[in-house]
């Protein structure tokens, strides 16, 4: 009763190189909560020039201009799409605008970096993927945790078999707010942990269960519990909440040999490996001879070189454009997350029943 421990190594898909100007000119749409972080990292990326920032709120643009006084600004995103000098667009708007903006930009021959979730449905995501492929354009989704040193270390440990067969994964992403108006807490917070689980295991679940409740806005769940059911009995649970007094960002990976706890809020020791397990006796003739063996070994925290994942992610987007390689967090990877989110929504509607993928 376990996951398949064999997973693929970390690498981008192969693609033919592109011949183009190595300097990529970028426009950023959305300067709210996450946009300033994207702007800062794209401005420091190699072979990248941020030309213009866009937001519908003039006060946000005024704030951005106070940080970057020589930056062009706009309140209409179509100005960026129609500008022939811009090679790529970064979309960091509310989810309901992702599809329309990205599709228009792809049709205008712009490469696209789009924040998670990439669209509001799998149908929309597939249209974006097909449009990008038809025009030989880069489409990348902002699953930032895939570029963190901690998550890459977890994948390395799982792939090597050090933890043994992964039996279950438990993730918690809780805090007080930020409440969204167009998506529930699963669509807001779960993409982080879903993308990590898919990346580490390199395997889709075969069914989904999800339960939740709406307390603040009657039609938008603010607490949910999502279950990913894998073949052969493997399971992953994801608990999300906008109504928790404490900020929690942790994941537990339980293997047949060892256990691992990943706490993203830890400043240094983000990963701790526990040499703990339960062993069942291989042979016994009577009940008196049957005893579980509990192994309690040491705990250690492997050294992980610290760097800003968003910086790596932004540089990877620029490099993907110039080389033609398919990004690690490509549109196809974003689609997988959307498929799970759609199944979660269906399960919520039918009271938490199982939904096949």
Tell me, yes or no, whether 91 and 128 share the same domain: yes
Per-residue pLDDT, 309: 98
Quick one: tokens of 303? 């050294």
Q: Specify whether 314 is located in the same domain as 283.
A: no
- Verify that 320 and 291 share a domain, yes or no: no
73 CB neighbour count, 10 Å cutoff: 17
188 occurs within a structural domain: yes
Q: How many domains does the chain fold into?
A: 2
| 210 and 351 part of one domain | yes
Look at residue 18 in the predicted model and tell me its pLDDT: 64
Q: Supply the range of the domain harboring residue 129.
A: 24-145+310-328
Q: Tell me: do 134 and 255 sit in the same domain.
A: no
Is residue 238 in a domain?
yes
User: Rounded to whole angstroms, how far apart are CA atoms 303 and 153?
Assistant: 10
Q: For 211-219, which contacts have Cβ atoms below 8 Å and span 24 or more sequence positions?
A: 211/347, 211/348, 211/351, 211/352, 212/184, 212/185, 212/186, 212/348, 214/184, 215/243, 216/179, 216/242, 216/243, 217/179, 217/181
Say what the pLDDT of residue 4 is: 40
Determine the distance from the C-alpha atom of residue 120 to the mean position of all C-alpha atoms in its chain, rounded to a whole number: 15
Q: Are residues 159 and 304 in the same domain?
A: yes
Q: Does 264 share its domain with 171?
A: yes
pLDDT means over runs of 10, the chain (357 residues): 39 57 93 95 97 96 91 96 97 97 98 98 98 98 98 98 96 95 96 98 97 95 97 93 97 96 96 84 58 76 95 98 97 98 98 96
Contacts of residue 331, defined as CB under 8 A and 6 or more positions apart, other chains included, come to 118, 125, 128, 129, 132, 139, 140, 141
Residues 228, 88, single domain; the answer is no
């Amino acid at each position: 009763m376990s996951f398949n421990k064999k997973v693929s190594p970390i690498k981008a898909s192969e693609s033919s190189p592109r011949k183009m100007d190595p300097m990529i000119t970028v426009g950023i749409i959305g300067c709210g909560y996450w946009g300033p972080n994207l702007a800062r990292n794209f401005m420091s990326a190699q072979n990248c020039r941020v030309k213009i920032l866009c937001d519908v709120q003039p006060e946000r643009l005024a704030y951005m201009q106070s940080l970057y006084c020589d930056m062009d600004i706009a309140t209409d995103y179509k100005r960026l799409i129609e500008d022939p000098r811009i090679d790529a667009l970064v979309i960091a708007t509310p989810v309901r605008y992702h599809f329309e903006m990205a599709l228009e930009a792809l049709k205008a021959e712009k490469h696209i970096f789009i924040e998670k979730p990439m669209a509001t449905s799998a149908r929309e995501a597939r249209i974006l993927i097909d449009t990008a492929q038809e025009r030989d354009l880069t489409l990348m989704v902002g699953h930032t945790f895939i570029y963190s040193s901690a998550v890459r270390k977890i994948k390395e440990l799982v792939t090597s078999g050090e933890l043994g067969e992964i039996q279950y994964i438990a993730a918690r992403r809780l805090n007080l707010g930020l409440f969204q108006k167009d998506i529930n807490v699963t669509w807001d917070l779960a993409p982080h942990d879903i993308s990590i689980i898919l990346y580490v295991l390199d395997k889709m679940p075969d069914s989904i269960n999800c339960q939740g409740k709406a307390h603040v806005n009657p039609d938008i769940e603010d607490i949910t519990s999502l279950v990913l059911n894998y073949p052969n009995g493997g399971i992953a649970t994801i608990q999300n909440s906008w109504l928790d007094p404490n900020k929690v960002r942790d994941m537990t990976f339980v293997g047949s040999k060892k256990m691992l706890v990943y706490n993203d809020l830890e400043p240094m020791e983000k990963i701790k490996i526990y040499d703990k397990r339960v062993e069942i006796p291989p042979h016994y003739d009577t009940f008196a001879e049957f005893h579980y063996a509990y192994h309690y070994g040491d705990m250690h925290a492997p050294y992980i070189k610290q760097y800003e994942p968003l910086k790596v992610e932004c540089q990877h987007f620029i490099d993907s454009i110039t080389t033609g390689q398919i990004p690690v967090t490509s549109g196809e990877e974003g689609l997988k997350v959307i498929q799970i989110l759609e199944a979660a929504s269906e399960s919520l509607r039918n009271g938490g029943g199982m939904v096949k993928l």
